[in-house]
Amino acid sequence: MNNRQNDIACNVGQGPVTGKEAGLMICHYCHKVVSCHDYDEATICPRCCATVHTRKPGSITYTWALVLTSLILLFPANLLPIMQVDYLGSQEYSTIMDGIIYFFKEGSYGIGIVILTASVLVPVFKIAGIMLILLSIHFRWKTWLRHKTMMFRFIEFIGRWSMLDIFVIALLTVLVNFGFFSTISAASAATYFCGVVISTMLAAITFDTRLIWDTCIPPNREEE
Amino acid sequence: MNPKKIILCPECDLLLEMSSVEEGEKLLCPRCGAILGAPVKDSVEKVLALTSAGLLIYVPAIFLPLLTFDAAGIESSGSIADSFLALINTHFYFTGLMVFLTAILIPLVKLVMLFIVAASLYTGRSSRKTAVLFRLYHHLDEWGMLEVYMIGILVTIIKMLHMAHVNYDVGFYCFIGLLAATLGSAALMDKKLFWDEIDKQALAREQKEGILPCRRPEPNNGPPALSTQGRP
Ligand SMILES: [Zn+2]
Ligand SMILES: [Zn+2]
């Protein structure tokens, strides 16, 4: 398997293997290949007029900043109450974890697992995953490159699903409005939780996956 | 000029030769597994049909009531637009804004953009502006979260099932239609074909009308600045 991959990787010839070494760069939006100019790392894409960079500028710094922001916001998002239930005049606040525990006690395990995954596991996995990738770039760990790329793709894909709990609360606010008997509204953690979603999504956008692969000289070259 | 077209993998920067792909097949990067091409048959026509269907169904899907909860004779119902207004009314402005953008505004803007792009490709009138529009579509892509909202509706139903009687209203079925149109148009859009066609049509137009395409900044403020500053 590994041999086959290397074969395809070098089928272009003995010359440069990555676009950066070949003096080429790719437009991130329309995927047009344009040549780098030796004096400048950025140019305008002739096809879609976007600015093209060899690598996204300041990628590591922005991604670190956004990941750390979301890590800080994660605490109030999980510890403060996210929902307020008024039932017959008495007020009750519940955090994300309370909601999940409620479902497990009720016996609806399926829905409990869905919410647990979307609201707790996804944000934690995203933050941990991006930090792991950033650290591995910093220390130039040259292993598991393909798996790291796959993990990043997965992080990109799951990012938006954390909004689930916010949508549920927004819907409950409207639909559970039985006057004095029972009303539901959002509570302070909702704002922090939105902040976590936005900053982790932005962290995934500012990150450049090609940096993962820049840590290694392609294996076929090392053998020579 | 180039007998073999050189491409770069957008995710690992590997230099590759383009090879032909059949419809229904996927072209993967041998090193990192990124999808480099996945042709779809009659992509433009399909996207045009789905986005126009989505636009027709958008207003009822967002503004008509989704569900009615009936608890001990008291009924309450609401639409997606109401769920945004409820957050604003309870002074959760930031959360409300997020719901407004991800569930109401961006899905609409995405549909409109994709409709304009597909329509201009279909009629052969795309220009550089179409290319810019299509690029903005990619920017907004992941911020439209209709499918997450759909799961949110299902969770809400299950949550309330034993407390209230749940009635499904017109808005619910319209929303499923809107979701299907949005997901379908994104899945059936052949990105590579769209970009190639936009470029082809825009180039033809620019040549005919004598307009210059967007260019890189003039090189006069490029290399000299570095070398002259460095030397006395
Ligand atoms: Zn471009
Ligand atoms: Zn690749």
pTM to 2 decimal places: 0.86
Confidence class of residue A90 from pLDDT cuts 50, 70 and 90?
A: confident
Which numeric CATH code is attached to B42-189?
A: 1.20.140
My answer on whether A77 and A113 are in the same domain is yes
Centre of ligand 1 to C-alpha A33, Å, is 8
My answer on whether A186 and A113 are in the same domain is yes
pLDDT higher for B130 or A36? B130
My answer on whether A50 and A79 are in the same domain is no
Confidence class of residue B176 from pLDDT cuts 50, 70 and 90?
A: very high
Is the separation of the CB atoms in B125 and B116 below 8 Å?
A: no
CB contact under 8 A, B152 and A191: no
Interface probe, candidates B95, B182, B214, chain A, greatest A C-beta count within 10 A: B95
Of A131, A118, A122, residue with least CA distance to A68: A131
My answer on whether A28 and A116 are in the same domain is no
My answer on whether A34 and A70 are in the same domain is no
CB contact under 8 A, B15 and A174: no
Confidence class of residue A1 from pLDDT cuts 50, 70 and 90?
A: very low
Query: Is residue A219 a part of any domain in this protein?
Result: no
CATH number at residue A180: 1.20.140
B63 pLDDT higher than 90:
yes
- Smallest CA–CA distance from B141 into chain A, residue: A160
Residues A28-67, buried b or exposed e (16+ Cβ, 10 A)? bbbbbbbebeeeeeebbbbbbbbebbbebeebbebbbebb
My answer on whether A112 and A21 are in the same domain is no
Query: Is residue A220 a part of any domain in this protein?
Result: no
My answer on whether A13 and A84 are in the same domain is no
Query: Is residue A50 a part of any domain in this protein?
Result: yes
pLDDT at A145: 86
Other Cβ atoms less than 10 A from the Cβ of B216: the count is 16
φ, ψ (nearest 5 deg) of residue A43:
-150, 175
Instruction: Please report, for chain B, the start and end positions of each structural domain, with discontinuous segments joined by +.
Output: 42-189
* Radius of gyration of chain B from its Cα atoms, rounded to whole angstroms: 24
Mind listing the pLDDT tens digit for each residue in B85-132? 999 999 999 999 999 999 999 999 999 999 999 999 999 888 888 999
A38 pLDDT higher than 60:
no
pLDDT at B228: 36
Average pLDDT of the residues in A6-35: 70
In this structure, of A67-76, B12-21, B57-66, the range with the lowest mean pLDDT score is B12-21
Average pLDDT of the residues in A157-167: 90
CB contact under 8 A, A22 and B15: yes
Of A149, A56, A138, A1, residue with least CA distance to B12: A149
Tell me which residues of chain A, numbers 87 to 116, contact chain B at a CB-CB cutoff of 8 Å. Answer: 108, 111, 114-115
Q: How far is A31 from chain B (nearest CA, A)?
A: 7
Is the separation of the CB atoms in B86 and B153 below 8 Å?
A: no
Q: How far is B210 from chain A (nearest CA, A)?
A: 16
CB contact under 8 A, A49 and B87: no
A223 pLDDT higher than 70:
no
Average pLDDT of the residues in B13-20: 84
Tell whether ipTM is more than 0.90: no
Question: What residue spans of A38-188 are helical by DSSP H?
Answer: 59-79, 96-106, 109-115, 122-138, 145-158, 164-175
Rounded CA separation B79/A182 (Å)? 19
B147 pLDDT higher than 50:
yes
Is the separation of the CB atoms in A27 and A52 below 8 Å?
A: yes
pLDDT at A75: 94
Q: How far is A44 from chain B (nearest CA, A)?
A: 5
Query: Is residue A223 a part of any domain in this protein?
Result: no
pLDDT at A178: 75
What domain range is A42 assigned to?
Answer: 3-54
A80 pLDDT higher than 50:
yes
My answer on whether A11 and A44 are in the same domain is yes
How many beta-carbon pairs under 8 angstroms link A with B? 223
> Of the candidates B15, B90, B143, which has its C-beta nearest A18's C-beta?
B15
Average pLDDT of the residues in B133-153: 93
Mean confidence (pLDDT) of chain A = 83
My answer on whether A10 and A115 are in the same domain is no
Identify the three-state secondary structure at position A84. strand
pLDDT at B214: 65
My answer on whether A93 and A18 are in the same domain is no
My answer on whether A48 and A69 are in the same domain is no
pLDDT at A41: 64
My answer on whether A168 and A205 are in the same domain is yes
CA distances A86 to A82, A186, B69, Å, are 14, 11, 17
pLDDT at A217: 54
Centre of ligand 2 to C-alpha B29, Å, is 5
Query: Is residue A222 a part of any domain in this protein?
Result: no
pLDDT at B226: 37
Centre of ligand 1 to C-alpha A52, Å, is 7
Give chain A's domain count.
2
Average pLDDT of the residues in A52-76: 93
Among residues A54, A71, A86, the one where a domain terminates is A54
Mind listing the pLDDT tens digit for each residue in B180-214? 999 999 999 998 899 999 989 988 888 888 776 66
In the beta sheet, which residues pair with residue A183? A86, A177
